[in-house]
Amino acid sequence: MVATVRKPFQNVPSPGSSVMLQVTFDLFDGGLQKSRVNEAVSAKYVAQQQLEQELRNVNDQTEALRSDWDSARDQWTLSVDGEKQALRTLELYADEFRLGTRQLSDLINAQVDLFSARSDREQAESGYYLATLALYNMDAKTMDGLRALNLIKEEA
């Protein structure tokens, strides 16, 4: 729908001078406006679903990291106990070897077991540190995690 209004200028001396105002309204747009609104509503719904899926993914990742941290902590605790046990066994075998009641091969095997136990403990400790830092990193607080593990010095 188009409307036009013309009014001649009385104060302008040139012939044919006039002012024109034209206003346009779309009464029938063929459903274009309604389809744009529906498209925007659909896009909003899709965005909400994507957000909810991302939140579920973050929660799943957080739970997996917490589970990994629990396992790493338990593994480190077990490996520390295993190293202590291997050290006690080596000390016992060394005493028995000095007394002549234990063979040299047993003493060497005990030393190998202690070395393996120390290696396992160091790997478990590293795994614990990595799992801890991964949890801190989920909250974007990696530096706090490094400080909590005493891997960096506190700033003054």
Coil, strand or helix at 4? strand
Angle (deg, nearest 10), helices 32-99 and 104-138: 160
Instruction: Answer yes or no: is pLDDT of 130 > 80.
Output: yes
Residue 116 and residue 113: Cα distance in Å, rounded? Answer: 5
What are the tokens at 22? 């034209």
pLDDT at 34: 82
* 148 or 3: which leads in pLDDT: 148
How many of the other CB atoms lie within 10 Å of CB of 31? 9
Average pLDDT, the chain: 86
Which tokens is 13 given? 């001396």
| Global pTM exceeds 0.85 | no
Q: Write out pLDDT tens, residues 12-29.
A: 555 555 556 666 666 667
What are 67-115's pLDDT values in tens digits? Answer: 999 999 999 999 999 999 999 999 999 999 999 999 999 999 999 999 9
Comparison of pLDDT for 2 and 86, the residue scoring more: 86
| Region 30-59 average pLDDT | 91
pLDDT at 152: 86
Using the 8-state DSSP alphabet, how is residue 150 labeled?
A: T
Give residue 120's pLDDT: 96
What is the per-residue pLDDT for 9?
56
Strand partners, 109: none
Per-residue pLDDT at 10 exceeds 70: no
